[in-house]
Chains A and B, each alone.
Chain A
Amino acid sequence: AQSVTQLGSHVSVSEGALVLLRCNYSSSVPPYLFWYVQYPNQGLQLLLKYTTGATLVKGINGFEAEFKKSETSFHLTKPSAHMSDAAEYFCAAGKTSYDKVIFGPGTSLSVIP
């Protein structure tokens, strides 16, 4: 069965530092991959997605992610953290019927002033 893992349930970074949130998926065939962000008391908002083509994907708010087939990874990065980036981040993979996706457990990002 396909699964998505996110290393680190909580990550803290200083404002201006690099953000790195890790995501690995299990599948013999590369799936479609997504990163979502959830701000407090809100639903999930799409940050970026990988379907086919270029393996480095740019999203909103300065985030990007790189699909690495050999490592079955799709890590999320941002060069310089901002206070407004504090939120919960979910990685998700889809390769099932009817556009179902499997979500990772989430990583809570804190940004320290």
Chain B
Amino acid sequence: DVKVTQSSRYLVKRTGEKVFLECVQDMDHENMFWYRQDPGLGLRLIYFSYDVKMKEKGDIPEGYSVSREKKERFSLILESASTNQTSMYLCASSSSRVRNQPQHFGDGTRLSIL
């Protein structure tokens, strides 16, 4: 079965810290995505990657960066965490081999910045 695993379910960090959120998928998917989810705003795309070492900015990339050194792993980095980055973060992956296949999601990381 499809599996997207996010390393932490809950995370508490302090303002100014560098924060790493990790995501691993076991489906050999080409595409991987990072979203943040806030009440009333739905899911907003931060960054996505369609291949190893490739990345594209989404709708709200400011304050974030990503890394994809291996096909199965996609990391989201908060360079200097701020309180307005407190949110639920969702990772997803999808296949490029068949057009517009659905995305498969991890269980999310609820991040609090104090």
Nearest B residue (CB) for A42: B107
Q: Are B42 and A99 in contact (CB under 8 A)?
A: no
Q: Are B102 and A49 in contact (CB under 8 A)?
A: yes
Query: A70 near B: Cβ within 8 Å?
Result: no
Q: Are A90 and B43 in contact (CB under 8 A)?
A: yes
Q: Are A99 and B108 in contact (CB under 8 A)?
A: no
List of A residues within 8 angstroms of B100 by Cβ: 32, 51, 94-95, 99
Nearest B residue (CB) for A93: B100
Nearest A residue (CB) for B10: A41
Query: B81 near A: Cβ within 8 Å?
Result: no
A90 CA / B103 CA spacing, docked (Å): 13
List of A residues within 8 angstroms of B44 by Cβ: 103
Known A-B contacts A98-B48, A98-B50, A99-B94; the reply to A43 vs B105 at CB < 8 A is yes
Q: Are B45 and A100 in contact (CB under 8 A)?
A: yes
Chain B residues numbered 75-114 whose CB sits less than 8 Å from any CB in chain A: 90, 92, 94, 96, 99-108
Query: B41 near A: Cβ within 8 Å?
Result: yes
Nearest 8 A/B pairs, CB to CB: A43-B105, A105-B42, A103-B43, A32-B100, A44-B105, A98-B50, A103-B42, A46-B102
Q: How far is the CB of B102 from chain A (nearest CB, A)?
A: 5
Q: Are A99 and B4 in contact (CB under 8 A)?
A: no
Of B42, B48, B50, B96, which one neighbours A90 at CB under 8 angstroms?
B42
Nearest B residue (CB) for A91: B42
List of B residues within 8 angstroms of A103 by Cβ: 35, 42-44
A45 CA / B106 CA spacing, docked (Å): 9
A41 CA / B99 CA spacing, docked (Å): 29
Chain B residues numbered 37-54 whose CB sits less than 8 Å from any CB in chain A: 40-45, 48, 50
B31, B101, B102, B108 pick with most chain A CB within 10 angstroms: B102
Q: Are A104 and B31 in contact (CB under 8 A)?
A: no
Chain A residues numbered 16-66 whose CB sits less than 8 Å from any CB in chain B: 32, 34, 36, 41-46, 49, 51
List of B residues within 8 angstroms of A43 by Cβ: 4, 90, 92, 105-108
Query: A101 near B: Cβ within 8 Å?
Result: yes
Query: A14 near B: Cβ within 8 Å?
Result: no
